[in-house]
C-alpha cells in the first residue's frame, strides 16, 4: 500500500516536474531564424480579418498596422448588415489593399469559410480585429513555412496596456497580461521539447492556403461535432490546430520580440466572462485531443502531460491543500524544528512556483510585484471558473463584447437541428465557389 510519504512524493513530482522542465525548455527555446534568401515574401501573404462591426477606431488601427507589413492584400470578412459600413471605411481611409466580403449570419467560422476562396496567395494569415502588428512580423511568421512540412505558425502575444489606467483597470489588465504571459511560456517551452503547443491562437496565425482549401478540411471545419450531440461552430483555432496535428503537419511558434503581437483583453469584470469562455473552449478541445483524436499522445507526449492534462488535473487550491495535508501527515513523527523547516520550504516552493513562469512580466513591469497576491488569489478563484465551465460545456456565449453573441445560436447546434443549419453552411460554401 502507498503511504502518505509515497503519495506526497508522487503528487509533488507530477505537479512540479512539469514546471522545472518547462523552465529549462523556455530558456533554451529559440525561434526558427530568418533565412538568408527567403522564398516567401510579404507578397505571398493575404490577411483575413473576421470582424463583426466592419468599422471603428480599433479596427482601423489593426488594418493600418497590418498594411505596414506590406501583405499582398487584406480581406475583411464581416456580416451583410455591416458590409456597406466596412466598404465606406475602406474607401474613406484609402485602404486600396482591403477587400470586403460578408455572410448573412455572424459567425467566425462562416466568415473564414467565406473569405478563404478569395485568397490568391500561398499563405493565409487570420488576425483578430483588435491586434497591433509590429512592422517586422511577416518575415518571422514566414520563416518556418519555408519548410513544406510546416502547416501553421503562431506568434508571441502581449497585452496592449491601457493608458493612465485607474486601479480597477490596472488590476484586471494585470490579470490579462499574466494570462498571455503564461500562454507564451507554455507555447515556447512545449515547442522546444516536442513541437507541440496548446493552440495556434486565432489572434494572429498563419496557414498554408492549400490546407484551408482542402475539401475534406472545409467539410470537417463546418461540420464539427461535439460529444455526438452538437454541431460545434465555435473554437475555430482549436479545430485547425488539431487538424494540422492529425494530418502530420508540423506547427511552429515564433517567440521573438519582432514577432510580438499586441492585443486587447477586458480590463473590467467582463474579464471573468472571457476566462469562462476560454476555459470552456479548453475543456472541449483538450478532451477531444486526449480522448477522441488521441494523436497528441504519439506526436506530442510532453505537451499532452504539461498542457492538455492540466485541464482535468490542475486545481490550484486543491493541490496546495492536499500537499500541505500530506506533508503534516508524513512529518507527524519528525522533531518540531524539522517539521517547521520542512513546512517553510514547502510553502516557499509553492509560492515561488506561482510566479517563476511569469518572471518575464515582472522584469518588464516590476511595479506589478505589488499585485502578486492578487494573482495568487485569482489562481485559486479560477478553479471555480474552471469547475463551472466544466458543467456548462454546451454554452458558447461570449458575454464580453457587443454583438459577439448575435450568432450564439449557431455556435452550438443540437444534432436534431443540424440538417437545417448544415444546409446554410453548404450555401455559404457554394456561394464562395
Give me the pLDDT at residue 400, please. 56
- Distance (Å, whole) CA 295 – CA 244: 10
Give me the pLDDT at residue 384, please. 95
Per-residue pLDDT for the chain (433 aa), expressed as one digit of tens each? 678 888 999 999 999 999 999 999 999 999 999 999 999 999 999 999 999 988 888 999 999 999 999 999 999 999 999 999 999 988 888 888 999 999 998 889 999 999 999 999 999 999 999 999 999 999 999 999 999 999 999 999 999 988 889 999 999 999 999 999 999 999 999 999 999 998 999 999 999 999 999 999 999 999 998 887 888 888 999 999 999 999 999 999 999 999 999 999 999 999 999 999 999 999 999 999 999 888 999 999 999 999 999 999 889 999 999 999 999 999 888 899 999 999 999 999 999 999 999 999 999 999 999 999 999 999 999 999 999 999 999 888 876 566 556 666 667 787 765 454 554 554 454 334 3
Q: Which three cell numbers stand for residue 268?
A: 473590467
How many of the other CB atoms lie within 10 Å of CB of 336?
8
C-beta of residue 425 within 8 angstroms of C-beta of residue 222: yes
- Spatial CA neighbour of 224 closest among 113, 390, 117: 113
Phi (first) and psi of residue 403, to 5 degrees = 80, -10
pTM, two decimal places? 0.91
- Distance (Å, whole) CA 401 – CA 312: 28
- Spatial CA neighbour of 145 closest among 6, 42, 274: 42
Q: In the beta sheet, which residues pair with residue 126?
A: 48, 205
How many of the other CB atoms lie within 10 Å of CB of 181?
20
The residue to which cell 477522441 is assigned: 292
Q: Where are the beta strands (DSSP E) in 225-307?
A: 225-226, 230-232, 250-254, 260-263
Q: Which three cell numbers stand for residue 287?
A: 478532451
Give me the pLDDT at residue 310, please. 92
| DSSP secondary structure letters along 272-292 | HHHHHHHHHHHHHHHHIIIII
Amino acid at each position: 500500500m502507498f503511504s502518505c510519504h509515497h503519495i506526497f512524493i508522487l503528487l509533488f513530482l507530477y505537479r512540479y516536474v512539469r514546471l522545472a522542465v518547462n523552465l529549462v525548455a523556455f530558456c533554451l527555446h529559440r525561434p526558427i531564424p530568418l533565412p538568408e534568401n527567403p522564398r516567401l515574401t510579404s507578397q505571398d501573404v493575404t490577411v483575413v480579418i473576421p470582424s463583426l462591426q466592419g468599422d471603428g477606431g480599433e479596427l482601423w488601427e489593426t488594418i493600418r498596422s497590418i498594411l505596414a507589413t506590406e501583405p499582398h492584400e487584406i480581406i475583411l470578412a464581416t456580416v451583410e448588415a455591416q458590409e456597406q459600413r466596412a466598404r465606406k471605411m475602406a474607401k474613406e481611409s484609402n485602404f486600396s489593399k482591403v477587400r470586403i466580403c460578408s455572410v448573412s449570419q455572424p459567425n467566425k467560422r462562416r466568415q473564414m469559410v467565406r473569405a478563404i476562396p478569395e485568397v490568391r496567395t500561398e499563405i493565409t494569415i487570420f488576425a483578430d480585429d483588435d491586434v497591433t502588428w509590429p512592422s517586422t512580423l511577416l518575415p518571422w511568421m514566414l520563416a518556418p513555412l519555408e519548410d513544406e512540412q510546416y502547416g501553421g505558425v503562431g506568434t508571441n502575444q502581449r497585452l496592449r496596456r491601457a493608458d493612465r489606467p485607474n486601479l480597477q483597470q490596472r488590476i484586471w489588465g494585470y490579470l490579462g497580461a499574466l494570462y498571455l504571459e503564461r500562454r507564451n511560456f507554455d507555447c515556447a517551452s512545449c515547442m522546444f521539447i516536442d513541437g507541440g503547443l496548446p493552440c495556434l491562437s486565432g489572434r494572429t496565425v498563419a496557414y498554408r492556403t492549400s490546407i484551408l482549401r482542402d475539401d475534406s478540411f472545409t467539410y470537417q471545419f463546418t461540420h464539427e461535432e461535439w460529444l455526438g450531440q452538437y454541431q460545434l461552430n465555435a473554437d475555430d483555432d482549436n479545430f485547425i490546430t488539431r487538424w494540422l496535428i492529425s494530418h502530420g503537419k508540423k506547427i511552429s511558434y515564433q517567440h521573438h520580440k519582432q514577432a510580438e503581437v499586441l492585443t486587447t483583453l477586458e480590463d473590467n469584470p467582463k474579464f471573468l466572462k472571457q476566462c469562462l469562455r476560454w476555459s470552456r473552449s479548453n475543456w472541449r478541445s483538450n478532451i477531444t485531443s486526449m480522448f477522441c483524436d488521441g494523436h497528441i499522445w504519439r506526436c506530442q507526449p510532453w505537451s499532452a502531460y504539461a498542457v492538455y492534462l492540466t485541464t482535468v488535473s490542475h486545481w490550484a487550491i486543491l493541490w496546495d491543500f492536499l500537499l500541505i495535508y500530506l506533508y503534516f501527515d508524513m512529518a507527524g513523527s519528525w522533531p518540531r524544528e524539522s517539521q517547521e523547516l520542512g513546512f517553510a520550504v514547502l510553502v516557499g516552493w509553492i509560492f515561488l512556483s506561482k510566479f517563476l513562469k511569469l518572471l518575464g512580466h515582472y522584469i518588464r513591469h516590476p511595479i506589478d510585484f505589488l499585485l502578486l497576491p492578487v494573482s495568487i488569489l485569482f489562481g485559486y478563484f479560477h478553479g471555480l471558473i474552471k469547475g463551472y465551465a466544466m458543467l456548462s460545456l454546451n454554452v458558447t456565449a461570449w458575454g464580453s463584447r457587443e454583438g459577439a453573441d448575435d450568432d450564439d445560436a449557431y455556435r452550438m447546434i443540437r444534432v436534431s437541428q443540424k440538417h437545417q443549419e448544415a444546409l446554410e453552411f453548404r450555401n455559404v460554401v457554394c456561394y464562395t465557389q
